[in-house]
Amino acid sequence: MKVLQVGKFYPVRGGVEKVMYDLMIGLSGQGIYCDMLCTASEDHPPGTSVINSYAQLICVPALMKLSATMIAPAMISKLKGICANYEIIHIHHPDPMACVALFMSNYKGKVILHWHSDILKQKLLLKIYAPFQKWMIKRADLIVGTSPVYVAESPFLTNYQNKTNFIPIGIERINPVQERVDKIRHTFANKKIIFSLGRLVEYKGYEYLIKASQYLSDDYVILIGGKGPLRDELLALIAQYNLQDKVKLLGYVSDEDIPGYYGACDIFCLSSIIKTEAFAIVQIEAMSCGKPVVSTQIPGSGVSWVNAHGQSGIIVEIQNEKALGEALERVGTEEVLYQTLKEGAKRRFNENFTQQNMVEKAIMFYESLIWN
């Protein structure tokens, strides 16, 4: 069996390309030929890199980035030239370039469409891309989401439920270095730490998390890691409500430092407010460390499936700082509840969100397509 993952870019910067790369590594680690075709970004040069005996990373050059999409005509010619080598092509959506390349390739084999999220913000792009998206949905032999909720409620997939399923995103367990954990705990001594991580953009709902701190006792501190265009606005909000002692914007947190914050925090919070947050890998990263998660009920999103209410955490309605604050206070104060959610977070991670689980489900679907 030879599989080709197609879409997005390299180096890995977001959830979609992380899933692609991890599938390539996981599948090739089990002796399945799995390559990855994407565009080169940042300082990574175009070309083919041998990952191991069963995997190659194929990066094509991009002309430009437009509406969050890499415009890479080279992907069309590259896929056309190599597609016949693969029994299965695994397209990761949303990535219009990958879809157009498949359309132009005249590929005759099996296709899996991995529906990570709907296209929500790029309205103009969607109008242009819509005919290709419709073709891709019809062309796919199987459509998989990252959660059962998202594929069931996506308006684009309503008429194709007979060929949908899901593969939960899986990761390797986060292993914090104790020395770094201790350093963070020392910095915020005698505080219960609430950690959140993500770009400072509107859909993350950080304004509600900041306002939620008003409903927390002085025993708590909220640490928000990440950079983005709303930094100044959020700092102004913190100053406006005089919350400088309760909320800290950490700025960019390096990959080396992130595990320390997961290890040091008492609770992880996801305050996102719209369906752009389709899964939130940060939730399962926190759960892998046994941290209870307080998240929001986002209509049509898989976020609330990932964090099971009453099992791995607490779910509250979106855009409600009072409900968010009260839930955080409750989880941090009620010892029996905290221990229940802590143990439940570890258990839910182990049962659903390991990288091995993701790879095994992908293999199951690949084999069903090839043999049926």
The CATH number for 204's domain is 3.40.50.2000
What confidence tens digit (pLDDT) does each residue in 22-32 have? 999 999 999 99
Indicate if 301 and 366 belong to the same structural domain. no
Helix, strand, or coil (residue 274): coil
At 101, the amino acid letter reads A
Indicate if 195 and 263 belong to the same structural domain. yes
Indicate if 197 and 334 belong to the same structural domain. yes
Indicate if 132 and 196 belong to the same structural domain. no
Indicate if 161 and 231 belong to the same structural domain. no
Sign for the CA dihedral angle at 357, 359, 361, 364 comes to negative
Indicate if 203 and 154 belong to the same structural domain. no
Indicate if 94 and 202 belong to the same structural domain. no
pLDDT at 150 over 80: yes
Give the pLDDT confidence score for residue 122 in this predicted structure. 65
Flag the least confident range among 8-17, 80-89, 297-306.
8-17
What confidence tens digit (pLDDT) does each residue in 161-192 have? 999 999 999 999 999 999 999 999 999 999 99
Residue 155 has which token pair? Answer: 């308006």
Indicate if 336 and 358 belong to the same structural domain. no
Check if the beta carbon of residue 194 is closer than 8 Å to that of residue 267.
yes
Average pLDDT of span 261-282: 96
Query: Edge-to-edge, what's the strand order for the sheet holding 47-52?
Result: 47-52, 55-60, 33-40, 2-10, 88-93, 110-115, 142-145, 164-166
Report d(CA 372, CA 250) in Å as an integer. 51
Q: At what angle do helices 355-371 and 15-29 cross, to 10 degrees?
A: 70
The helix or strand, by DSSP H or E, that contains position 339, with its residue range, turns out to be helix 335-352
Residue that wins the pLDDT comparison between 46 and 324 = 324
Indicate if 337 and 359 belong to the same structural domain. no
Helix, strand, or coil (residue 189): coil
Give the pLDDT confidence score for residue 67 in this predicted structure. 59
Model confidence at 141, in pLDDT bands (50, 70, 90)?
Answer: very high
Report d(CA 113, CA 177) in Å as an integer. 38
Report d(CA 249, CA 264) in Å as an integer. 16
Indicate if 192 and 340 belong to the same structural domain. yes
Indicate if 107 and 222 belong to the same structural domain. no
Domain that holds residue 343: 178-352
Report d(CA 39, CA 14) in Å as an integer. 14
Flag the least confident range among 4-18, 201-215, 225-239, 356-370.
4-18
Report d(CA 291, CA 345) in Å as an integer. 6
Report d(CA 65, CA 122) in Å as an integer. 13
Q: How many domains does the chain have?
A: 2
Average pLDDT of span 241-269: 97
Report in angstroms the alpha-carbon separations of 206 from 108, 195, 226, 300: 46, 12, 11, 20
Indicate if 344 and 232 belong to the same structural domain. yes
